[in-house]
Structure 1
């Protein structure tokens, strides 16, 4: 069993303990911490407390984090759209609406389920829940992902992501008409301080850089291509909102009055990397799905 220990700072005093505790690790949601509080796993100065306990500066907090639930991940024939495959790497075009990897309460229909059916050899670096998964895209984002078939390939591909040498270009439809043809957004991203279910631009967030250029302008919307220099959670969605042009259809970061589409209009269309064995640069391009193309056609008609 893992244990997390921290001391409440002067800046954190007066805040609810569930809020303070969930801010310590990105992977711990506030609702998860509240469950641990109910189970008596969160101790303040050696005693269990309730979620509404107001933290005091100097409080010593210990959280007994339960071992992750072992899930039996089943292989499923999901008819994956495989763009490339060899002994080291698979490049797959993930459809919109598909989750990348299983999680408690959501163990079927994910990309990992499909990969396990498609091939038996996937890297084990990320454990049984995320075999082969080097990077992710959101459920309602379509497009290209690279998957590692062995640990050596996994390490080399992850290193390329760290070194910012992977090419990742996305097409997106955003609210508003962007006047500049090109732009760069350099703003740090971390957990939103007011809503733990969101990411946001925060002072002590991780470095995040997105480059964009305008492909086409419509009456009230713009079609852009965004290229990631870094790969933070929800990066394009958060960055475009930050500069005043949130993604169309985005239920988390966009306006309530938006286009009638199911999720954000975002497609990972270009993926390029150095092959982990041959050291040759490879680049793949996938056209946006039909619903994305139809959306753009409809916007053109209204110009």
Structure 2
């Protein structure tokens, strides 16, 4: 419960609050293809891989550059916590914070999923979403958020006075990534990062600004689809909260498997180019290395 204000409002409080907001990072400045270019090649796709994610577990799969991936609801309403990595460099991974700053708290068709610093480039472009009709409801909730961090055993222990639960999404992702890469659990855990909450319905309460969840509107047959801008290693947990209508980090909720499908298009989108690494020179205000070398001669 947020505490009430203990400071008297100044005389110009209403004026200060009435200042109009400004979009911090307008995505119009991004150089990217129109969604129509991606969608034009979706009608001729060949299924090349399919992976089932068991309930309360996680799994990994690869999505080659230029392929489409669909995350599918199969048997019942179920939320998935998704991590994305550069297949050839695990240090480059999904950066939900910058994705959120560019495209908003919830993502959908046309939005891109950006990688971490110093790489900062699009890893994937969302091309289809059977839940795009949902929009934002009367509570301010939307689907597919990049604001939730993932359920984890540390927060569970904190809020349950030391309780232990091993099938939180964080632990599921850690086990799956360790198994896929051969890393130890301790090593793999350092790569697990904030997720795209696939199918999760979330928002912030208007009175206290607290993160909330509600029953996901997803039903069997629904899917979220993205185009891989780079070679991707994906890792997803079928959340122990099921549809996240009441709880997570427990064995109470009814949970279902999820499926990931990878498709190869007959042709790449017209005008598509592989995204280059971010162009910043990484000197951070110091002399460029070549200029320092020149001065030493």
Q: TM bucket by the smaller chain?
A: under 0.3
- TM normalised by structure 1 equals 0.25
Higher relative contact order (CA 8 A, sep 6+): 2
